[in-house]
Amino acid sequence: MTIALKGRSLLSLEDMSPEEIRYLLTLAVELRAEKRAGTEKRRLTGKSIALIFEKDSTRTRTSFEVAAYDQGAHVTYLGPTGSQLGKKESVKDTARVLGRIYDAIEFRGSQQHHVEILAQFSGKPVYNGLTDEAHPTQVLADFMTIQAHTSAQPHETALVFMGDTHNNVARSLADGAMKLGADMRLCGPKSLWPDTATLERWRGIGLETGGRLMVSDDVNVAVKGADFVYTDVWLSMGEPTEQWAERIKLLSPYRVTSELMRTTGRPNAKFLHCLPAFHNLETGVGAEIGKQFGIDCMEVTDEVFESGASIVFDQSENRMHTIKALLIATLGG
Ligand code: CP
Ligand code: NVA
């Protein structure tokens, strides 16, 4: 089968077929090997990519920048301040301007609608670098990492996401897992479950790919047999900080602890997190929350985060290789 991704956008993993996702993951593994061997070829010479960040970022920004530079492309970073976007210029007008100047656009912001407008009106490939609904480039890196840590096929791989199961990362993870035919479990309080239509959509994909979906508020049921345990922050960027108290109360039973890792029954179970993580009090927000609520971590204990089971920094590195694969597949050649 020929995989033709040139000119394509990645607004959500819904946009990609299972074959296209697998193609990007394979290309990313090849690119990682090339970079490590010092034999990387430049496939994006002369291309220019605009990077719009309405929200903060470490991994996504640096991954796009280094991936582009490695391949001979140029980038312009447009941060939360400093451009006309959102103040004197609409997303639609910005799309038409950047579409005349750049070969592709990355967007991180709140609204999924905005990434769609950018794609519609720029006429160039647009990459979702995180919205409130989706974080597709994260999940490409997650599956690259999962594949590197198992010899099992996706349908033999059980992956559980703990905590805020309706956030952007959980949703994109479930998109990817169902497309790749994995055993996906979402575990958290009912009030934070994705809506029924989304669950039905995933189950529909699973019927075609062999993917299975469990949604449960019972930790023991959901983590039993899990090969990979994933979590994310309890309050995402842009959500009101007044919600911390409620989220901490709701989500504390879903914290990833050493006991929870043992409950999987899989001695080799691995821990994943998109990062940044509140695993100790060494951050401004973590210290403040710690003081206010008398806790020393949130979604994961420091013990699990620092354990041999933790593959979170592989995930971080793989952001760059998978984003590079995406840029080459959509812009190269
Ligand atoms: N995981 C992730 O997207 O990290 P950043 O917010 O640092 O980009
Ligand atoms: N759910 C998190 C992911 C950060 C990479 C957020 O949106 O803040």
pLDDT cut 70: percent of the chain above it: 100
CATH code at 13-134+319-328: 3.40.50.1370
Model pLDDT, residue 1:
64
Task: Please state which architecture CATH assigns to domain 150-310.
Answer: 3-Layer(aba) Sandwich (3.40)
Model pLDDT, residue 58:
98
Q: How far is CA 331 from CA 62, 121, 124, 133, in A?
A: 19, 18, 9, 25
The model carries a pTM of 0.98
Contact 214, 222 (CB under 8 A): yes
Centre of ligand 2 to C-alpha 183, Å, is: 23
Question: pLDDT tens across 171-196, in order?
Answer: 999 999 999 999 999 999 999 999 99
Q: Which atom of ligand 2 has the smallest separation from the CA of 57?
A: 5
Residues near ligand 2 (Cβ within 6 A): 130, 167-169, 232-233, 236-237, 274
Rounded Cα gap, residues 311 and 270, in angstroms: 7
In this predicted model, which residue has the larger pLDDT, 191 or 1? 191
Question: pLDDT tens across 9-33, in order?
Answer: 999 999 899 999 999 999 999 999 9
Q: Where are the domains of the chain?
A: 13-134+319-328, 150-310
Model pLDDT, residue 154:
86
The two most distant CA atoms of the chain are separated, in Å, by: 56
Pick the residue whose CA is nearest to atom 6 on ligand 1: 57
Q: Which atom of ligand 1 has the smallest separation from the CA of 60?
A: 8
Q: What is the mean pLDDT of residues 131-141?
A: 98
Q: Where are the beta strands (DSSP E) in the chain?
A: 48-53, 74-78, 104-108, 126-128, 158-162, 183-187, 212-216, 228-231, 270-273
Question: pLDDT tens across 302-323, in order?
Answer: 999 999 999 999 999 999 999 9
Residues near ligand 1 (Cβ within 6 A): 57-60, 130, 138, 274-275
